[in-house]
Amino acid sequence: MAENNSTDFGYKTVPTSEKAGMVAGVFHSVAAKYDLMNDLMSMGIHRLWKRFTIDLSGVRPGQKVLDLAGGTGDLAAKFARIVGDNGEVVLADINDSMLNVGKEKLRNLGIVGNVRFVQANAECLPFPDNHFDLITIAFGLRNVTDKAAALKSMQRVLKPGGRLLVLEFSKPQNMLLTQAYDIYSFKVLPAMGKLVAGDSESYQYLAESIRMHPDQETLKSMMFDAGFDEVEYHNLTGGIVALHRGFKF
């Protein structure tokens, strides 16, 4: 990533001040078909990745959960049922189009009352210190301009004893898988995006943003630097996705 006043937007270098708006444009474009494209792109495997995240969350009734970059609410819906009426789930996203899709989806599922929807920037979260028992960010960290600032902000609002789970695309651990994944990402995904969502450029950006995201060990180090303890990660689907977990003590 370029330093100072520039940063990456996929494979492009853009002014740091413009990235958030450019990412917002991508997600305004894809919001309406986001869930459908997730199922198509991952052949439904994203549901297994998210289920594993729930399993490692350790969340219990009555707890407070922040689902950051929560988009259309897949994780928030599961957490809302677990924490129950005495708990709270905050579904936060920087993009209002994604939040609106998430609101409608959770209402249609009958999930109301213990979920709040907050438009928020991960780099400067509008929540008190030591507030949440659990924070999750699934497929959102790679779109954040200043990832180090976002991780520190998450650490600040997490209670002592709480945990952070970062579910994100990562680096495949096998060369043949890497080659096949590259072909799929740069040939199939943009074509699928054009066919289904009428937008190939946004899916080209998403493929590029995955390649620019820190690999497993780099992200682990970044979480330690942000103040998390006992950081570990689990490679899923050969490392195409990794789930990082860290604690605040």
Angle at 152 (CA atoms; ends 15, 165), nearest 5 degrees: 105
Asked whether residue 198 is domain-assigned, the answer is: no
Domain containing residue 64: CATH number: 3.40.50.150
Q: Strand, coil or helix: what is 224?
A: helix
- pLDDT score, position 204: 87
Asked whether residue 13 is domain-assigned, the answer is: yes
Q: 106 is in which domain, residue-wise? A: 6-173+204-247
Residue 2, pLDDT > 60, answer no
Residue 218, pLDDT > 80, answer yes
122 annotated as ligand-binding: yes
Distances in whole angstroms, Cα of residue 84 to Cα of each of 66, 101, 114: 14, 22, 7
20 annotated as ligand-binding: no
Asked whether residue 112 is domain-assigned, the answer is: yes
Between residues 9 and 65, which one has the greater pLDDT? Answer: 65
- Please tell me the total count of domains within the chain: 1
- pLDDT score, position 37: 65
Asked whether residue 188 is domain-assigned, the answer is: no
- pLDDT score, position 31: 65
182 annotated as ligand-binding: no
- pLDDT score, position 18: 84
For the segment 23-52, what is each residue's pLDDT rounded down to a tens digit?
777 777 766 666 676 777 788 899 999 999
- pLDDT score, position 152: 98
Between residues 196 and 206, which one has the greater pLDDT? Answer: 206
Averaged pLDDT for residues 212-236: 97
- pLDDT score, position 168: 96
178 annotated as ligand-binding: no
Asked whether residue 182 is domain-assigned, the answer is: no
Asked whether residue 181 is domain-assigned, the answer is: no
Contacts of residue 112, defined as CB under 8 A and 6 or more positions apart, other chains included, come to 106
Asked whether residue 209 is domain-assigned, the answer is: yes
Averaged pLDDT for residues 176-181: 92
Between residues 139 and 3, which one has the greater pLDDT? Answer: 139
Contacts of residue 236, defined as CB under 8 A and 6 or more positions apart, other chains included, come to 48, 49, 52, 242, 243
- pLDDT score, position 4: 58
Asked whether residue 190 is domain-assigned, the answer is: no
Residue 183 has which token pair?
């072909």
Between residues 103 and 22, which one has the greater pLDDT? Answer: 103
The answer to whether the pTM exceeds 0.75 is yes
